[in-house]
Structure 1
Amino acid sequence: MTKRRLGTLAGTLLVGWLTSGCGAEPAQEQLAAQEQPLAEAPAAQRAPVLENLEFIPSEMPSAATPGLLRARLAEGEKATQILLTGDDGKELALSDDGLNGDEKAGDGLFSGPGIVNLDEHLKTQERIATFQKESTEPLTVATFADRELVRETALVPLPSDIFAPGRPIPIFPSPISRAVVPNKSLIITHPSVVGDPTRTYDPCTNTGNPSGVWTFKHLMTEMANTAAPAPAFTERWLRQWLTTQTVNGRPVPARSAMATQILNAWPRLSTGELDLNRTPFKLVAIVNRLDLGRGNGGPYGTSGAGELRFVFSVMNSTTCVRPYNGFLVIFEYGVPQNQCLQVKSWAQAWLGLSNPLLALGSAAYNTQLQNLTQQVVMRNMAPGKPNGSAINQVRTNEIMLTTPWWEMREFRLFSTAANPRNFTTSAAPGHLSEHITVRTPFDQFNNTTTLTSFLTTNNTAILNGTHDVPLDYGATLNFLGAFPQMPTASFIWNAPSLSTVPNGFNARHKFSLNTCNGCHAGETRTNFTHVGATGGLSPFLAAGMTNVNNPYTVTDPVSGQVRSFFEMRERAQHLDSAANQSCLIRRFDLPVAFAH
C-alpha cells in the first residue's frame, strides 16, 4: 500500500508515461468536520489515487486548450470514474467504459474530454529550463512518505515539440523547492517582523503597538467576536488550568501555577478585567503551513490552503526569556481558501515573499505579510465556524505550570453542534474550551498491550499515514487523550511484542511520529518545542532553513534504523507547486493528517 501511494508522485508519473503510453460554492471547512475528531474517511469517499495523467490536445496550445484527458489509477485503487477539475474550473469525469473518447472499456485507462491551460504548462517547462541553467546542482523532485525522503527524480523540461495537436502530453507535478526562501515564506522569526513596533507588542519593555495586527490582543479580540468581551474571553480560557477538567471521560489535572505565574501577574483595568494592552504574550514566529492543506480542500482531492500559525511566548517582566521554564501558545488558523484558483493565489502571495528584491523585515515585506495574515485572522472570515473565526485550534506547549515535565494542551471554540466528548465537560459555546489532542492517546496507554493491539488492527492505515486515533478503541473506552506529556526529550510511544505486529518497528515509529508528544521528543530528537521561546527552531526544522536539501538524520531509538528528514523541503515543494502549476496537478496531492 505504501509503495502504491508513493508511485503516484512526480518521478513515477513521468516514468509511467514513458513506459505505459499514459503520462497520466468552495469546499468550506464546515462546523461538523472541524469539531469532530479526525477520522479516516471510508475509501469510497476518498478520491482514488492516480498513477499518471496525460492530455491529448485537439487544437494548438492556448490558455484553454480542448482535448482528451487520460489517466490510470495507482495499483490497488478502484473506481468507476475519475473526477477532476479542469483548468477552466469545471468538473469533469474520466471513464473506462469505451465511450466519450475512451478507446476500450475495462482496460484500466480512464478517458474524457476536458480543458487544459497548455500555455501554463509551456511556461512551467521554460521555468524548469531557466532554473536548470542557473543551478550548479541537478534539479530534482523529492518523493516523501510521512515526512521521510524516499526517492529523488530528475526534473527536466518536456520537449517543446510535444505540445502539438494529437500528441500525448504528460501532466505531472514539477515543483522547484529552491525557489522558496524558507525564512521569508515558511517560518518567519526575523526580529524586524516579530518585533515590528507598529504591528507587535513587547511585554518586557512595554513598547510597540498593543493593538497591532500581529498581537495577542488583536487575535483574541477577533476570535472572540461578539461571543464575549476579549478580556473575559481570554480569562475564561486561561482559568481552565485552575480546575480539573474532564475530556473524553478522563480527568485533566488542574495547574494552580496558572494563577501565580500568569493571571496574578497580569495587569488589570480598574474594572478588574485583564488589561490586554499589557499582555505577557510576545510574538516569536509566524508560520505558513500550506502543506497541511494537501488533498483537504475543494472537490476531488484538490488542495486546500492549510493553516496560518502564530507562535507566542509568555514573557517574564524580569527575565524576559524563559528558555527552560517556557510557556508557548500557538494560534492555528484554517485558511478560508479552498478552490484551486483561490489556493493558487494564496500560494503565489506567499512565494512572492521570497522575492530577492523584497528584504525580509522591510516595510514593504511586512506590509505584504500583513495583507496575507489579515485575510485569515479577522472576524467573520469563516462564517460556517464558531464565532465566524477561522481558528482551528489553539495549542499550548509549556513547562511553566507542570515542572518538571512538559505538557501540551489543545483548545477549540465550542459549539453545541460538536460531539461533547471531544471537549471538556465545562465547555461554553463560543469560548475556547479544552479539547482532545488529535492522534494522541492518553499517556497511560504507552507501552501497553492495548497499543500493540492498536498497531496490529490499524497496521495498513498507520503505515500509509492515514490512520486516526478514535475516542474509544474497541472495548477500551476513553482512548484518545487530552494532555500529552513529555517527561524527557527522549520520550517515544512504544509497545510490547512489536515482533508480532506486521512491520512492527516501522508501524511503531509512524504512530509515535504522528502523536503530539512523540513528534516533539524522541522521534525527531526535539527538546519539546519546534519553535522555542526566543524563536529558535528545533534541528528538525532548522536543518533545512538555509538549504532545503540539507538532511536531518535521526536514529530510531527502538529499531536503530537511520532516517533522513527533509521537513522544510517538503513544505517548500508544496508551496512552489501550488503557486506555479496547473489546477489539474493539484489532483496528485495526497491528503495529509499531520497534527503538527
Structure 2
Amino acid sequence: MRIFNTLPARASFSLLMLMSTAAWAADRPRAAGNGSPTAQQQRSNRQESNQRSAPSNGGRQPASQQKNSVNIERELMITDLSVVEDPILTNPDSGQFGVWSFKYLIEQMSGSNDPSLFALSLFTHGDEQTINGFDVPPRPAVQEKIIDPWLQRGGGTLDLKFAPVKLLAIVNRIDLRQVEGSEVLSAGEGRFVFGVLDAEGKPLAPTGGDAVGGMTIILEYSLPAQSSKDLQRWAEDWHELGKYKPGTPAYNLRLAVLTKRFTDRGRGIGRPNRSALNQIRTNDIALATPWELREWTIDEITGFLKPHSVAETPDFLTFNNTSDLADLLNANATSIRNASFTLPADLMAGSAPAGPYFDLRPDLPFELFEANFAAAQATVDFGVMDGTFLNDLLAFFQSAPVANPIEGTDVVVNIPWQTPTGVDPDVRHLFAVNTCSGCHRDETATEFLHVGFPESARGQNLFSDSMGSQAFLSAFLTGGDPVVDPINPDLQHEFNDLQRRQGDLEELLTSGPRQHHRTNRRH
C-alpha cells in the first residue's frame, strides 16, 4: 500500500470504517423516473451522512461563512494533498474504497471489456490515423515511454494498479451545464486530472522546455441531470463541501460519495458502457513535439475508447491564416461574441498542436533559416517530431503568418490563430481562446498546461512519495497580469477563470437555474 504522510493514522482508519458502514449513500434506491432520489431520501441520506461522518466539531468552518460564498479550493478546484494523496481513496489496492484511483475509474467505465485492454485503447498516439477526415501525426514514443514500462511493472500484463499516473486535481465544472427552458441537458462536468509518470515514478519529462511534467490525462464526466431539481442538487452538494476541511473524514467522504455519482458504472443511462464519461483528453509534449491535445470517447459499438475530434478547434496547419477562417468568423461574429458559437463538426480537427513551432519563415535571414531547418530535421531524425508534420509546417509558413518570438531563442516561435483579411479583433480573440490550442497557449500566455505537477515534484518518485505541494495552476485559472493580445498588441485581456466559475456557482445557488444556459466552453 502506498502511504503518504497526509492524514493521521487514526483519521485514515476512521475514514475506512466510515466507508464500510456508510453503504455509499449515492448507491441507495432511486425514485422511478429520472433516477434521482426522492426529497425524503435526500434528506435521510444527508442526515445519516452528517451523523456518521462528522467528528465532534464536524470539521466545520466558522458559522460566519456566508451561505452562498463559494470556496474555490474546496468546491471547484480541489488540489489539497490530503485529498489527492488520500492513502485509501487514491490507492488502487483499496478495492471498492479506492474510488479516486485510475484503476477504479477505468474499471467503472470499461463496461464488459477487460479494463486493462480498455485502458490500452487510450494510448493510440503511436498509430497513423485519420480522425474526422484529418491526418494526425503519430507519436510512437508512447510505446517506449508509457506502455513498455507499465508492462514491465505488471510482470508482462497491463495491471491497472501499476498505472503510471498521479492524481493532481478533482475539478467541478458545473459552469459547463446546459439548460434550455425547463429542460436540463447536463449539470456540467466533473473531472479528474492525472499527471503521467515515467518508469521510475518521476513526472514524465517533456521533449523540450522546463515543465516539471510533459503529459496529463483528464477524465471528463457529465454530471447527470434531467431537471432543475437535479441541477440544484449538484450545486448544493458541491457547495456543501465548503463547510469542511479537506483531509478530514467529513470532507473526503462527502467528496467520494459525490464523485461516485458521476464516475460509477450505470450513471450514464443510455450511453456507451452506461458510463457518464464525456471524453478523455491528453495534453503532452513528452511523446513528441510540439505540445498537443487529443481526445477520446467511448465507442458505442465496441465499448472501447476511440480517438475523437478535438472540441471547437479546426485543423491548425490547414485552416489557420486562411480566407475560409476569416469568412467563418465574420459570418458568426454575433454568436462568437455571446459565446453560443459552435464550430461545425466537419471542421473539428483530429488533434490540436499548440507550439512552440520551429521558426521556418521563408523571409528569415538565410543562415538562420538553414540553422532552424537543420534543427527541425534533426528532431525528425531522432523521432521527436513527425516528418509529415514538418512538411506541413513548411507549407503553412508560405502563408506568411504572424509568428511571435519566444524570449531567449531564435529557433522556435509561437503562432496564434489569425486571418489574412480583416476580422474584428475581439471576435478573433474570443474564437481563438475557446480552441484547445488558443486557450492552452497564445491567447492566455500559458505554456500549455493549466493544471500540472508542482516544482516540488521534480525528480521525485511519486509511486511512493508525496508531491510535496499542491498542483501547479496557470495564471489563466488564478489570475495574473493582463495578457497582450498575440495579434493586436494594443489590446490586453485579463483572466481569472476560477473566479469566473466561483461567481457562476454563487449565482446558481442564489438565484437557481436560468431558463437559458448553454455555453460553448470546453476547456
Normalised to the residue count of structure 1, the TM-score between the two structures is 0.61
**Cross-structure match for 1:329:** 217
2:195–2:213 Cα contact (<8 Å) kept = no
Alpha-carbon offset, residue 402 of structure 1:
1.2
**Cross-structure match for 1:348:** 236
Do structure 1's residue 411 and structure 2's residue 296 form an aligned pair? Answer: yes
Change (3 A) 1:270 1:410: closer
Quote the Cα distance in structure 1 between the aligned partners of 2:415 and 2:168. 26
Alpha-carbon offset, residue 212 of structure 1:
1.1
Residues 175-574 of structure 1 correspond to what in structure 2 (within 5 A)?
179-201=69-91, 212-226=98-112, 228-238=113-123, 240-267=124-151, 272-293=156-177, 296-297=178-179, 299-300=181-182, 304-318=186-200, 320-321=202-203, 322=205, 323-355=211-243, 358-403=244-289, 405-416=290-301, 429-444=302-317, 445-472=319-346, 479-488=347-356, 490-498=414-422, 501=423, 504-534=424-454, 535-543=471-479, 553-559=482-488, 560-574=490-504
Quote the Cα distance in structure 2 between the aligned partners of 1:178 and 1:27. 27
Alpha-carbon offset, residue 331 of structure 1:
0.3
Secondary structure at the aligned position of 1:347 is classed as helix
Secondary structure at the aligned position of 2:122 is classed as helix
Amino acid at match of 1:305: A
Quote the Cα distance in structure 1 between the aligned partners of 2:75 and 2:133. 41
Change (3 A) 1:588 1:270: closer
Secondary structure at the aligned position of 2:419 is classed as coil
Alpha-carbon displacement from aligned partner over 1:511-551 (angstroms, at most 9, x marks no partner) = 101100100011111110110134210011123xxxxxxx7
Amino acid at match of 1:591: R
Amino acid at match of 2:286: M
Alpha-carbon displacement from aligned partner over 1:196-246 (angstroms, at most 9, x marks no partner) = 0101149xxxx98797100111111000021x11011111331x2221111
Change (3 A) 1:555 1:301: farther
Alpha-carbon offset, residue 178 of structure 1:
7.4
Alpha-carbon offset, residue 362 of structure 1:
1.6
2:511 to 577, 581, 589: 581
Secondary structure at the aligned position of 1:354 is classed as helix
Quote the Cα distance in structure 2 between the aligned partners of 1:482 and 1:319. 30
Change (3 A) 1:531 1:340: same
Quote the Cα distance in structure 1 between the aligned partners of 2:517 and 2:483. 25
Alpha-carbon displacement from aligned partner over 1:313-350 (angstroms, at most 9, x marks no partner) = 11124362343551100000001123111111111111
Amino acid at match of 2:474: S
Quote the Cα distance in structure 1 between the aligned partners of 2:288 and 2:81. 29
Quote the Cα distance in structure 1 between the aligned partners of 2:193 and 2:144. 23
2:179–2:516 Cα contact (<8 Å) kept = no
1:177–1:576 Cα contact (<8 Å) kept = no
Alpha-carbon displacement from aligned partner over 1:239-278 (angstroms, at most 9, x marks no partner) = x222111111222122110110000000458884301111
Amino acid at match of 1:480: M
Alpha-carbon offset, residue 588 of structure 1:
4.8
Q: Which segment drifts farther, 315-324 or 283-292?
A: 315-324
Residues 39-54 of structure 1 correspond to what in structure 2 (within 5 A)?
none
Alpha-carbon offset, residue 553 of structure 1:
2.4
Change (3 A) 1:178 1:565: farther
2:284–2:292 Cα contact (<8 Å) kept = yes
Amino acid at match of 1:556: D
Amino acid at match of 2:473: L
Q: Give 5+ residue unaligned stretches, structure 1.
A: 1-24, 29-133, 136-175, 417-428, 473-478, 544-550
Greater gyration radius: 1
Quote the Cα distance in structure 1 between the aligned partners of 2:186 and 2:151. 40
Quote the Cα distance in structure 1 between the aligned partners of 2:100 and 2:132. 34
**Count of residues in correspondence between the two structures:** 384
Quote the Cα distance in structure 2 between the aligned partners of 1:332 and 1:589. 23
Amino acid at match of 1:523: E
Secondary structure at the aligned position of 2:442 is classed as coil
More helix by share: 2
**Cross-structure match for 2:55:** none
Identity %: 34
Change (3 A) 1:298 1:460: closer
Change (3 A) 1:270 1:536: closer
Quote the Cα distance in structure 2 between the aligned partners of 1:303 and 1:267. 40
Change (3 A) 1:370 1:552: farther
Quote the Cα distance in structure 1 between the aligned partners of 2:34 and 2:320. 40
Quote the Cα distance in structure 2 between the aligned partners of 1:298 and 1:449. 34
Alpha-carbon offset, residue 491 of structure 1:
4.1
Normalised to the residue count of structure 2, the TM-score between the two structures is 0.69
Quote the Cα distance in structure 2 between the aligned partners of 1:211 and 1:258. 30
**Cross-structure match for 1:16:** none
1:413–1:430 Cα contact (<8 Å) kept = yes
Quote the Cα distance in structure 1 between the aligned partners of 2:509 and 2:237. 8
Change (3 A) 1:221 1:298: farther
**Cross-structure match for 1:111:** none
Change (3 A) 1:211 1:369: closer
Change (3 A) 1:271 1:383: farther
**Cross-structure match for 1:154:** none
Over the residues paired in the alignment, what is the CA RMSD in angstroms? 2.6
Q: Which segment drifts farther, 462-471 or 212-221?
A: 462-471
Quote the Cα distance in structure 2 between the aligned partners of 1:590 and 1:225. 32
Amino acid at match of 2:245: A
Amino acid at match of 1:481: A
**Cross-structure match for 2:463:** none
Change (3 A) 1:312 1:178: same
Alpha-carbon offset, residue 304 of structure 1:
3.6
Secondary structure at the aligned position of 1:447 is classed as coil
